[in-house]
Amino acid sequence: MLYRKISGVEGALSVLGFGCMRLPVTAGGAIDEPAAERLMRAAFDGGINYFDAAWPYHEGKCEEFVGRALEGYRDKVTLVTKLPVWLVREPSDMEDFLERQLNFLRTDHLDIYLLHSLNGDRWRRMREMGALEFMERARAAGRIRHIAFSFHDGIDSFKEIVDAYPWTMCQIQYNLLDRNFQAGREGLDYAAAKGIGVVVMEPLKGGNISLPVPEELKEEARLAGYASPNLADLGLRWVWDHPGVSVVLSGMTTPEQLAQNLASADRGLANGLSGPERRFADRVWKFFTDRVRVPCTACGYCKPCPQGVDIPQCFTNLNTASVSGNWEAQGRNYRYILAPDRDGKRASACVNCGACVPKCPQGIPIPDRLREVAAAFESEA
């Protein structure tokens, strides 16, 4: 494992952070606690010391589980969670959330506390509500150590927020497909130039960059000296290649994903890609940009759907079919995973209520795109 520093943060941070948004789950969708605990302990044993939780992850059950799973490890890790700003209706709510989160996580302090999923409107509302003053009081009381924010909006709003306060860290979406999306490369460099640590989320775009190397790119992969059977290693190392990046979060679900990512992290050097690897990454970017249908990262913020539609699964099948060209296989997979006797409903169950749309960090017009899924996979169901 390699480590990098964020100015002011105690100790060095593992370049690979454990994102707790995609923990293993049971058939019913609840966190598979024994499997998830084994995975987190294995991550720690592999050198990961940065664990990132949040209030809405796993439909509100993430923080309580993480608190239990990290018992006995608390003083050995950097523990991070976030204030769900969209749920804050009045100033006293901020104190209530922090107190509950500390209790859930079984700790008396958070190493880093973020204003979660800021955009321009949320930032201005939270600032008027005294969020920074609240965070500073919590820091003075020893309940949080560092003040930060995560972000989903355009570059102008990002710069406004960065310039407004001496943040320790910001968390942005960045990957070899989303180079200019939201804060993008410009925002990464802007924050890093001001001495703000940059933590990257969605480095593999919700798994879209972990697919097998497409047949059309295998010869170019060989010429670049890229031997991995899938693109996850390239995707992660492409992000670490940027000197301004401090930590790259990955939401790992299986021991196999963890093992591969740990191996990649051992080579996660700044300016570590070769020239041929960078050119291959550019080719991958062009290939995927031409084929990915929906910019979904499977973050799950859209859930639960009032009708039970498994929105992330619908878009995963659509994108995988579009990139691989194997529509028949993905149609079978879609109809099996979203069979009538299972919990998740198919795209055709959408009634266009729109409840999911304002929740989506990617700004996807979800009902419209679900109609595409239904047309692709349900006409022969």
The answer as to whether 182 is a domain residue is: yes
Shared domain check, 316 and 284: no
Q: Is residue 273 part of a domain?
A: yes
List the domain range (segments joined by +) for residue 22.
Answer: 3-289
**Which CATH number is 99's domain given?**
3.20.20.100
pLDDT tier at 300, thresholds 50, 70, 90: confident
Q: What is the 3-state secondary structure (H, E, C) of the chain?
A: CCEECCCCCCCCEECEEEECCCCCECCCCCECHHHHHHHHHHHHHCCCCEEECCCCHHHHCHHHHHHHHCCCCHHHCEEEEEECHHHCCCHHHHHHHHHHHHHHCCCCCECEEEEEEECHHHHHHHHHCCHHHHHHHHHHCCCECCEEEEECCCHHHHHHHHHHCCCCEEEEECCCCCCCCCCHHHHHHHHHHCCCEEEEECCCCCCHHHCECCHHHHHHHHHCCCCCCECHHHHHHHHHCCCCEEEEEECCCCHHHHHHHHHHHCCCCCCCCCHHHHHHHHHHHHHHHCCCCCCCCCCCCCCCCCCCECHHHHHHHHHHHHHHCCHHHHHHHHHHHCCCCCCCECHHHCCCCCCCHHHCCCCCCHHHHHHHHHHHHCCCC
Examine residue 301 and state whether it is found in any structural domain, yes or no. no
Whole-number Å distance between alpha carbons of 150 and 48: 21
Residues 224 and 356 in one domain: no
Domain check: are 272 and 350 in the same one? no
**Domain-embedded: residue 297:** no
Q: Is residue 86 part of a domain?
A: yes
Average model confidence (pLDDT) for the chain? 94
185 and 77 share one domain? yes
Please tell me the total count of domains within the chain.
2
Residue 138 resides in a domain: yes
Q: What is the pLDDT of residue 381?
A: 47
Q: Which residue, among 91, 82, 78, has the nearest Cα to 60 in the 3D structure?
A: 82
CB burial of residue 127 (10 Å; 0-12, 13-18, 19+): middle
pLDDT (0 to 100) of residue 208: 77
- 295 within some domain: no
Residues 199 and 337 in one domain: no
Last residue of some domain: 255, 289, 323? 289
Q: Which range scores top for mean pLDDT: 211-215, 265-269, 308-312, 338-342?
A: 265-269
pLDDT tens-digit readout, 277-293: 999 999 999 998 888 89
Q: Evaluate whether residue 303 is within a structural domain.
A: no
Same domain for 196 and 96:
yes
The model carries a pTM of 0.85
Based on the fold, state whether residues 276 and 336 are members of the same structural domain.
Answer: no
